[in-house]
Amino acid sequence: MGRMQFDFSGRNAFVTGGGGGMGLQIARDLVTAGARATLFDLKPAPDDLPAGARYVQADLRDADAVARAMAACHDDAGRLDCLVNAAGVLLLGRDRSLVDMDLDVWDDVLAINLKGAAICARHAVPLMRRAGGGAMVHIATIQCVRGDDAPQDAYQASKAGLIAMSKSIAIQFAADGIRSNTILPGPTQTPMQQRWVDDPSLREATEGAVPLGRVGTTEDMANAVLFLLSDSASFITGTELIVDGGVLAKP
């Protein structure tokens, strides 16, 4: 699989969920493309942290911690150009139908997946305005635009909220040169899918349902995110990019 080539020289990015999976891959690719990056996650810093990147271990639900980290990110480069809301939780087994789940699970999932993203956007907008504009990408999922007979209702609702939030940001701040988009990944191999490692037959069954015959990779998702952050997408805002191997196109 080829990798897309971008130039982010002189740009500065704040990436949540940077402790692994999509967030780490996105941050790594941004740094490779010339950007500075601050990675924010509750997990300890990974061993393969991109060279020169800043890492902040803190809770996304802590608005003060987010504000401090984003201010430090801005001060490190004198600007903020990119925000990637990649942090998220999928509480398999606990996140079920809304008629069955513990409502504390609902609150926890929405606090991280949606409120955390809102806190980041809230602090990013003023800093992007100072830079004359910027770009945000929020990681949603194809599961938030369809039903599921094995529901994870809090996860799906939180990710649907990201789409609505992103559209609102795009319209509110278009005149400031700030763009906001989401990507909707399909089945993707990340640490959140440990069950595929534990039982490869589950991954094989998933691959059989994907028209392109495989699950996505973190590189696939990073390619989509970097495109939407880049100048190549300068006329794209308030929309969703589906990256799912054709799943949603199936009849």
The DSSP element (H or E) to which 141 belongs, if any, is: none
| pLDDT at residue 2 tops 60 | no
* Alpha-helical regions (H) of the chain: 21-32, 63-77, 103-110, 116-130, 153-172, 194-198, 200-208, 218-229
* 127 closest CA partner among 177, 60, 64, 183: 177
Cα dihedral value 143, 145, 146, 152, nearest 10? 40
pTM for the full predicted model? 0.94
Structure confidence at residue 205 (pLDDT): 80
Structure confidence at residue 193 (pLDDT): 67
Structural domains in the chain?
Answer: 12-246 (3.40.50.720)
pLDDT, tens digit (0-9, with 9 covering 90-100), for 78-108: 999 999 999 999 898 899 999 999 999 999 9
| pLDDT at residue 34 tops 80 | yes
- CB-based contacts of 146, cutoff 8 Å, min separation 6: 248
Please state the rounded mean pLDDT for residues 192-217. 82
Residue with tokens 């998220």: 88
Q: Say if residues 101 and 153 touch (Cβ distance below 8 Å).
A: yes
The DSSP element (H or E) to which 6 belongs, if any, is: none
Q: Quick check: helix, strand or coil at residue 193? A: helix
Please state the rounded mean pLDDT for residues 67-83. 97
Q: Say if residues 110 and 158 touch (Cβ distance below 8 Å).
A: yes
Residue with tokens 């199936």: 250
Which residues are tagged catalytic?
155
Phi, psi dihedral angles at 180 (to 5 degrees): -145, 125
CA atoms within 13 A on the CB side of 239: 10
Other Cβ atoms less than 10 A from the Cβ of 144: the count is 19
